[in-house]
Structure 1
Amino acid sequence: MTVTKTSVLVLDCAEPEALAEFYASLLDAEIQVVSDPDFVELVGHNGVHLAIRRDHGYAPPSWPRPDDAQQAHLRILVAHGDLDEAEREAVSLGAMPMDAKANGGLRGVRFYADPAGHSFSLAVPPRNEPAGRGEEAP
């Protein structure tokens, strides 16, 4: 028997409430009330789970990363034709566009930093995969 599991990506930051508001608006997700003031959870309508944890010594990650460095980032899939609108929305919520040269100029993928400095991308899925389905690893 396999035990049912849910994966949750946890982002560290100095102000979890503010970052949770950013992602709740961007992902159309709901903030879940938890008893720990240093931990906030978000649940999206498509089964997306994200958590934000307070790190009192938090320092934003740097970008671009050295060639041999790896760092996780969120890949948010948007429908074909909606990438420009999704970008406007993300930037209006506080996202900061990253240098397009640093991401290899991938078509249909745009990189940003969230208000706490974490990288994320808005991406158009391959034509045979609708936005909102499972994501590939970045």
Structure 2
Amino acid sequence: MALVIAGHIVLDCAEPEKLAVFYTELLEAVQTEATANRVEISAPGGIQMAFRRDVNAAPPSWPRPENSLQAHLDFLVEDLDEAERRIIGLGGRPLDTKDFSGPYEERGYADPAGHSFTLRLLTPTAPKQD
């Protein structure tokens, strides 16, 4: 039997209820637990997140160097423009970042509490041609 059987990505924030709404809507998730200081959600694809109250929480300033990126989330999407419109409509904001080199198109955003996350374009897979 595995020692660890489940886990959550936990974001500290001043208002966990409000941040949970943002991610619940963005990920089409459901709230699975809520206490006075923590809200948990579960989304399709196995994403488990929690939002913990920290009245002194300060968001990272990434991509500025004075407070480096502490952690961030990556989400795969099929349409970057559609996802961006939804994020902005939910209260998120785009981050000014340098172009990423590599096989994926990516865009950086911040949630309403300032936590950064990245949308990566899901690369369609086609059957190999002989």
TM range (shorter): 0.7 to 0.9
Worse-superposed segment, 61-70 or 109-118: 61-70
Indicate the RMSD between aligned Cα atoms, in angstroms. 2.4
Identity among equivalent pairs (%): 48
Q: What amino acid does structure 2 have at the position aligned with 1:47?
A: G
Matches within 5 A, 1:2-81: 2-3=2-3, 5-34=5-34, 36-66=35-65, 69-79=68-78
Contact 2:12-2:52 within 8 A present in 1 as well? yes
Matches within 5 A, 1:89-108: 89-101=86-98, 104=100, 107-108=104-105
Q: What amino acid does structure 2 have at the position aligned with 1:33?
A: E
**SS of the counterpart of 1:117?**
coil
Residue 40 of structure 1 and its aligned partner are, at CA, apart by: 0.2
Residue 88 (structure 1) aligned with residue 80 (structure 2): no
Q: Which residue is equivalent to 1:135?
A: none
**SS of the counterpart of 1:24?**
helix
- Deviations for 1:25-48, whole angstroms, at most 9, x for unmatched residues? 0000011233x2110000012211
Measured in 1, the distance between the counterparts of 2:117 and 2:59 equals: 13
Residue 56 of structure 1 and its aligned partner are, at CA, apart by: 1.4
- Deviations for 1:106-125, whole angstroms, at most 9, x for unmatched residues? 65100001000000011113
Measured in 1, the distance between the counterparts of 2:111 and 2:25 equals: 12
Contact 2:20-2:39 within 8 A present in 1 as well? yes
Q: What TM-score results when the alignment is normalised by the length of structure 1?
A: 0.79
Measured in 1, the distance between the counterparts of 2:113 and 2:101 equals: 24
Q: Which residue is equivalent to 1:132?
A: none
Residue 100 of structure 1 and its aligned partner are, at CA, apart by: 2.9
Q: What TM-score results when the alignment is normalised by the length of structure 2?
A: 0.84
Residue 116 (structure 1) aligned with residue 113 (structure 2): yes
Gaps of at least 5 residues in structure 1 are 129-138
Residue 67 of structure 1 and its aligned partner are, at CA, apart by: 9.1
